[in-house]
A and B are shown apart, each in its own frame.
Chain A
Amino acid sequence: MSGEQKQRRIVPIGPYHPLQEEPEFFKLIVEGETVVDLEIHIGYNHRGHEFISPELTYDQVPFLVERICGICSDSHPLAAVLAIEDCAGIKPPPRANYIRSIIHELERIHSHLLWVGLAGHFIGYNTVWMWAWRYREHILEVFEMITGNRNHYGAHKPGGVRWDIKPEQIPQIEAVLDVVEKKTMMLTKAVLDDPVIRARLEGVGILTKEQALAWSVVGPTARASGVDIDVRRDDPHAAYDQVPWDVIVLPEGDVFAKAKVRLLEIFESVKIIRGCLKNLPDGPIDIRIDEVPAGEGIGRTEAPRGEVFHYIRSDGSNRPLRHKIRAPSYMNIASNVVAVRGGSIADAALTLAAVDPCYCCTERMAAFEDGKLKFTGNELLRLSWEKTEKVRERFK
């Protein structure tokens, strides 16, 4: 072993952490304070959806894929029904398209607020966490009103949607949007103007445009690195080509840019929902599908974290022969290998969190030096908080 290699230490993160989200295991390889490499071990959450899906009928498949992820529990069913509709060559009625867009954008708002809150928690700004999650509650209330459940909505089915939006619900949704927009504006200003947060996030965990293309990252992770992609615009589905909105793209590639993209996207989502509610056409919300012919279909949609991709192969029966599911984090997490390189350990937790896969590994993070425990999970979070404190003193 050479002298250089001897100084390398391994910092395991995960697989269990008390905050939330799926277990994942990151092995940070560090020299002193600097991260030189990262190994990612996944599979703690592997439940075999692609194996179960061929046992279910096309009507049941959306309920299965909804349970892939509780935060984007609208994107997977939407992509799956788009794949089934692509295979069968049918188009849902216009009212269903608008309702799909509304529910999908409501989900984006709550998911982005959730991320902002947890990112705030990681740098020691628990106020941001409490604020963001408090305003997120309003969105969950709207979901409960429209679909009857706070999280798994069961909104989509092949050929349309399951839940209609009643005329008396529209003013209530608009009222909630007003509140959320106002409060998010306040939060955005507070977060983006804070010199400490800027100093803590700017220039951290940079993913360049070339790296973003080579790792084929998607969603806000790609858009913050200057890659101008958004499935909602590029491959129009639902009602995204009927209402005006913009794609937010920033060139920097650091954690601050990722936070900014997400915060600004909330306002675009509000714009889309307002536009859809205003132009909501009358008519049926679903059409009947008699059979799904043999063939193949691809459905994709822009989840809060990026492109969700579903491929369905049909043999003409009422069950899929093969159902391939690709969640956005599958591409984004892999790109962490390049994003954390060269950063410090205190920044690593934040960088890993920035692609919005799993932040909470941090608290179960433990650093081993020569087999002995050096940091415990909470100490790692403390390390991050201490760095914020130091930065804060500079601005006093």
Chain B
Amino acid sequence: MSESLRMFQERFPDTKVFEKNPRRLYLTIPREKLTAAARFLHAERGMRLSIATGIDTRDGFEVLYHFSEDTTGIIYTIKVFAPKDDPRIEAQGSWFPAAQWIEREMHELLGIEFIGHPNPAPLLTSDTDWEPGRFPLRRDYERRNEAHER
């Protein structure tokens, strides 16, 4: 077992660990502990944020923060859940600049709200031709052939 994982489990005993293979670890934690866990991985263990992924599943939103430990080549993925009726998560961009863009992107494409984000403006979609409240990466988004409609 890797050093970082052992320390992580000591610090956050309610972690559910899934080891896909020795280089890919998935750590599921309650969403209240996200900031503490991310701070631990970045500030104390010196890991780099690769990216975060937002997924809309049947049971709610999953947000995955992928941290890369470059000394060992292991990716630690912190997984948190947010229910559909309350899609809110603490923003990591408030203390970690690398997370700012991706949280803006998840906010506009999935509709997850990041509490305390310094600049939650849309990142990718058009400033003139986009209805707010359209979230194309959600499951219930209606697919249509837009290029040929217009």
Contacts and interface: CB of A to CB of B under 8 A. Distances in A.
B114 interface: no
B120 to A, nearest CB: 15
B125 interface: yes
B111 to A, nearest CB: 14
Contacts of A216: 48-50, 98
B47 to A, nearest CB: 9
Contacts of B46: 213
A180 B20 CA distance: 42
A324 B53 contact: yes
B55 A214 contact: no
B123 interface: yes
A50 B109 CA distance: 10
Interface in B8-53: 20-21, 23-24, 26, 46, 48-51, 53
B66 interface: yes
User: By CB atoms of chain A within 10 A, which of B64, B70, B100 has the most?
Assistant: B70
B137 A50 contact: yes
B123 A311 contact: no
A295 B68 CA distance: 20
B75 A298 contact: yes
A189 interface: no
Contact of B123 (A43, A214, A298): A43
A311 B24 CA distance: 11
A347 to B, nearest CB: 22
By secondary structure, the B interface counts as mixed
Contacts of B109: 50
Interface stretch (A229-237, A263-271, A366-374): A229-237
Contacts of B20: 86, 295-297
Given A46-B124, A311-B53, A213 B70 contact: no
Given A86-B21, A86-B24, A229 B70 contact: yes
B77 A334 contact: no
Interface residues of B, number: 36
Contacts of B126: 43
A307 interface: yes
A48 interface: yes
B136 A298 contact: no
Nearest to A334: B101
B133 interface: no
Contacts of A297: 20, 24
Contact of A307 (B50, B64, B97, B124): B50
B73 interface: yes
Contacts of A228: 70
Interface of B: 20-21, 23-24, 26, 46, 48-51, 53, 55, 64, 66, 68, 70-73, 75, 77, 96-98, 100-102, 109, 122-126, 136-137, 143
**Shortest beta-carbon contacts, A-B, top 5:** A216-B98, A326-B51, A235-B73, A43-B124, A324-B53
Interface of A: 42-43, 46, 48, 50-51, 55, 86, 89, 213-216, 218, 228-229, 234-236, 295-298, 300, 307, 309, 311, 313, 321-322, 324, 326, 330-331, 334
